[in-house]
Amino acid sequence: MKIKRTNLNSLQMTRSTYVYYLTMLGLLLGNCTGALAQQHKPQKPNIIYILMDDLGIGDLGVYYQNRRKAEQNRNHPYMQTPNIDGLAVSGAQLNQGYVNAPVCVASRASLLLGASQGQTKVRDNQFDKALDSNYNLANTLKEAGYTTAAIGKWGLQGKGNVWPAHPRKIGFDYYYGYIRHSDGHEHYPKEGKYRGSKEVYDNFTNVTPGLDKCYTGDLWTARAKQWIIAYSQANPTDKPFFMYLAYDTPHAVTELPTQAYPAGAGLKGGLQWLGKPGEMINTASGEIDSWIAPEYAQATWDHDNNPSTAEQPWPNVYKRYATSVKRIDDQVGDILQLLKDLGIADNTLLIFTSDNGPSKESYLKEEYSPEFFRGYGAFDGIKRDLWEGGVRAPFLVQWPNRIKPGTVINDPMMASDWLATFLEAAGYTIPAHVDGTSLMPVLTGTGKKETSKVYVEYAQNQRTPDYADFEPARRNRLRQQMQSVRIGDHMGVRYDIQSPSDPFEIYNVVLDPQQRTNLASNPAYKALQEQMQRKVTQMRRPDKDAPRPYDSVYVAAEAVTGRKKGRLESKLYHTDESWVSSGNGLKALKTKRIKSLNSASLPYALHASYVVKGYIDVPADGTYVFNFQSNGKAVFKLHDILVIDADYAYKGEAIQEEIRLKAGLHPFRFYYRPASSNSRFSLTYSDQHGQTKEIK
């Protein structure tokens, strides 16, 4: 980002203009304090986000394994997850949910930021890179009155020993878990049987020396339970909490627990935090990496698909994986029972999901393949693929106070939608910079949901596995640079991209979830192909640390009819948050037309926020430079591209951003929050000839 200083003295608003607008706004606010203030705010829910590591959508009963069981085909081994399946009965099952990337670090970064992979600084396989310094799940919910805790795997702290994005530094009040990405590949941190000992941190203190025989899945669960118990008993129900509970299982190494799951569940049963060095949890005894679930220990299968031959035992690595998944199911059931025991289940919004598709890794001598249980479900693709099996994820949601039991949701959505969803659930507005949209309308059956932006970009130099389950055309397919975008029921996918003009393969993923029929060659889909080509230019920014072959493409213009040139639409909202609000879900106090985008047209008033929409008419293809400076805060977007982000930690410095634009009309949205009666801003753009223009 280029920094340029600008003198704002020439931007003073006339006194008469200010007095007029302040008087008008005072009258309006006297009768109406905005949509949020008008409504009776319900009690804020507790929020628990349970995130698994490399758990495939097909690994769960409710998404695929129950279907395999019903087949009664001895050649198709299956697993059972009754507690997790129960969430679909008591709450909502989202059937077309996507993660933002097919690998953990990028997927988690987008989740925490509410941003797509086209607009984050953590992309591809940038393990341990610091999470963007911006509004996120933790610091926004903290402002909304939540106490925040993160437990489990992190991997977004930053390099070196400073860890600028340690959970405690970006909004979490408490942290317990693995800071480093690779530590999560060993599930006994002290013993380190397969990959060496690792470090578990309690806030900033390494506590591994006291973690004898602690299987991490059990450790995270017991610590989460103890934190919830202590918090709930010490705080009234009107003080909600948010917990980000990020497991490192069933990710390889495919290790086993020490023993059977403790009897019972919840407050008095199940996993318990003992807190004694060497005896930290109640399963920290016995032999590490030893216990296989009885239902899988003696399991056999028709390995050759021939009933006349004797069945063979499941290979050990699959007994291990199934035990790990069963352990996860027990842990989820334990937490659900705890919420009931504490009397907080009804007003707790709980999400169960995974970070990407299933893996083919075990880190053992015996290799693991998701083919055995078909962890990719009805789809093709695994972790690191942009086929549906790599980016479709289970999303099961329970909130008894607001979500009807048995709700089935078939709207496409992304993990980056949860930040907006949680803030709306808490009665707060959505920061303007985020890409996600609130899922509250579809979860609760009230209101109208905006269309989620389903977009993924990723690069990796390996290949899609040549599994017999997969379509022949994509077996052993080279990945390299990949990109996908969904429009309606259709997903466009590009692999091994060589140039920006490479065509998308097009699949109707509703009627054809395995993506068997590529519609791209059908003349009827020519317009959709062109739309996808345009769309992907309008929702991302290049990043120097993750170069793409399409970085140099010009952002496509829009065909607009009936536009009145030189007329911008301005909407005034009442907001209380510190961030610049998107205005989504709010009722505007005032809508008017303005001739140009300047300080005089958007005057200060207490709690005033503005959203201005219009078009920039670009005369010729070229690189355009946008310059902004203000003593207020603002966000500027072209299409869905975040061009100017002068919100989080913005101190009034000049911002200069370059963007390549095609000739034509480009829709913009300018979000502005004046800080005081002296607030003013300057937003201009210039072409390649250096000619500066106002936005009109």
Checking if the pLDDT of 20 tops 70, the result is no
Q: Summarize pLDDT for 91-100 with one digit per residue, the tens.
A: 999 999 999 9
CATH 2.60.120.260 domain extents, the chain: 9-31+561-694
Residue 442's pLDDT band (cuts 50, 70, 90): very high
Is residue 568 within 8 Å of residue 595, measured between CB atoms? yes
The CA R_g of the chain, rounded to the nearest whole Å, is 26
Residue 339 has phi, psi (to 5 degrees) of -60, -40
Checking if the pLDDT of 560 tops 50, the result is yes
Residue 688's pLDDT band (cuts 50, 70, 90): confident
> What burial letters (b/e) apply to 340-360, b meaning 16+ CB within 10 Å?
ebbebbebbbbbbbbbbbbbb
User: What local confidence, expressed as pLDDT, does residue 562 receive?
Assistant: 65
Of 638, 639, 635, nearest to 650 (Cα)? 635
Structural tokens at position 455: 């977009």
The average confidence (pLDDT) of the chain is 93
For residue 590, the cross-strand partners are: 572
What interhelical angle do 104-113 and 418-425 show, nearest 10? 30
Q: Which CATH class is domain 46-255+332-444?
A: alpha beta
Q: Identify how many contiguous H helices and E strands the chain contains and give both numbers.
A: 13, 30
Of 415, 417, 433, 413, nearest to 425 (Cα)? 417
For residue 487, the cross-strand partners are: 490
Give dist(CA 553, CA 551) in Å, integer.
6
Residue 2 has phi, psi (to 5 degrees) of -90, 135
Q: Which of 6-20, 221-235, 563-577 has the lowest mean pLDDT?
A: 6-20
Strand (E) positions, 386-494? 395-398, 407-409, 413-414, 455-463, 478-487, 490-494
Residue 564's pLDDT band (cuts 50, 70, 90): low
Half-sphere exposure of 564 (CA within 13 A, CB side): 7
Give dist(CA 187, CA 169) in Å, integer.
26
Q: Summarize pLDDT for 99-154 with one digit per residue, the tens.
A: 999 999 999 999 999 999 999 999 999 999 999 999 999 999 999 999 999 999 99
Is residue 387 within 8 Å of residue 378, measured between CB atoms? no
Residue 238's pLDDT band (cuts 50, 70, 90): confident
Give dist(CA 642, CA 635) in Å, integer.
8
Is residue 548 within 8 Å of residue 656, measured between CB atoms? no
Checking if the pLDDT of 10 tops 80, the result is no
> Given CA atoms 32, 35, 37, 39 in this order, what sign does their dihedral have?
positive
User: What local confidence, expressed as pLDDT, does residue 554 receive?
Assistant: 98
Checking if the pLDDT of 19 tops 90, the result is no
Checking if the pLDDT of 352 tops 90, the result is yes
Spacing of C-alpha 136 from chain mean position: 10
User: What local confidence, expressed as pLDDT, does residue 41 receive?
Assistant: 59
Of 370, 537, 397, nearest to 93 (Cα)? 397
Task: Tell me the CATH number for domain 9-31+561-694.
Answer: 2.60.120.260
Give dist(CA 370, CA 22) in Å, integer.
63
Please compute the mean of the pLDDT values over residues 530-559 and round it to a whole number: 97
Please compute the mean of the pLDDT values over residues 651-669 and round it to a whole number: 97
Q: Is residue 420 within a helix (H) or strand (E), and if so which, with residue range? A: helix 418-425
Is residue 419 within 8 Å of residue 136, measured between CB atoms? yes
The amino acid occupying position 97 is G
Please compute the mean of the pLDDT values over residues 469-475 and round it to a whole number: 97
DSSP state of 62: I
Q: Summarize pLDDT for 485-510 with one digit per residue, the tens.
A: 999 999 999 999 999 999 999 999 99
Is residue 247 within 8 Å of residue 208, measured between CB atoms? no
Of 434, 579, 609, 436, nearest to 143 (Cα)? 579
Is residue 175 within 8 Å of residue 150, measured between CB atoms? yes
Give dist(CA 383, CA 123) in Å, integer.
15
Structural tokens at position 279: 């005896």
Structural tokens at position 605: 């008033």
User: What local confidence, expressed as pLDDT, does residue 26 receive?
Assistant: 44
Judged by DSSP in three states, 51 sits in strand
Checking if the pLDDT of 28 tops 80, the result is no
Q: Which of 173-177, 191-195, 283-287, 677-681 has the lowest mean pLDDT?
A: 677-681
Is residue 641 within 8 Å of residue 631, measured between CB atoms? no
Is residue 631 within 8 Å of residue 673, measured between CB atoms? no
Strand (E) positions, 539-607? 568-574, 590-594
Residue 341 has phi, psi (to 5 degrees) of -60, -35
Share of residues in the chain with pLDDT > 70 (%): 93
Judged by DSSP in three states, 12 sits in coil
Q: Is residue 390 within a helix (H) or strand (E), and if so which, with residue range? A: helix 388-391
Checking if the pLDDT of 25 tops 60, the result is no
Give dist(CA 333, CA 271) in Å, integer.
11
Q: Which of 18-22, 256-260, 495-499 has the lowest mean pLDDT?
A: 18-22
Give dist(CA 683, CA 360) in Å, integer.
50
User: What local confidence, expressed as pLDDT, does residue 692 receive?
Assistant: 93
Give dist(CA 132, CA 649) in Å, integer.
12
Half-sphere exposure of 460 (CA within 13 A, CB side): 20
Q: Summarize pLDDT for 143-183 with one digit per residue, the tens.
A: 999 999 999 999 999 998 899 999 999 999 999 999 999 99
Q: Summarize pLDDT for 573-627 with one digit per residue, the tens.
A: 999 999 999 999 899 999 999 999 999 889 988 899 999 999 999 999 999 999 9
Number of neighbouring beta carbons within 10 Å of residue 298:
10
Judged by DSSP in three states, 415 sits in helix
Q: Summarize pLDDT for 310-322 with one digit per residue, the tens.
A: 999 999 999 999 9
Q: What contacts 132, CB < 8 A, 6 or more positions away?
A: 109, 113, 115, 120, 121, 122
Please compute the mean of the pLDDT values over residues 9-28 and round it to a whole number: 40
User: What local confidence, expressed as pLDDT, does residue 236 receive?
Assistant: 84
Residue 15's pLDDT band (cuts 50, 70, 90): very low
Checking if the pLDDT of 17 tops 60, the result is no
Is residue 57 within 8 Å of residue 389, measured between CB atoms? yes
Structural tokens at position 116: 């797509």
Please compute the mean of the pLDDT values over residues 662-682 and round it to a whole number: 94
- Cα distances (Å, whole numbers) of residue 211 to 28, 191, 281, 285, 663: 60, 9, 9, 11, 62
CA quadruple 522, 526, 532, 534: dihedral, nearest 10:
160
Q: Which of 78-87, 229-238, 275-284 has the lowest mean pLDDT?
A: 229-238
Q: Which of 37-51, 73-87, 235-249 has the lowest mean pLDDT?
A: 37-51
Measured distance between the N- and C-terminal CA atoms of the chain, rounded to whole angstroms: 25
Checking if the pLDDT of 237 tops 90, the result is no
DSSP state of 555: B
Checking if the pLDDT of 519 tops 60, the result is yes
CATH 3.40.720.10 domain extents, the chain: 46-255+332-444
Give dist(CA 530, CA 636) in Å, integer.
26
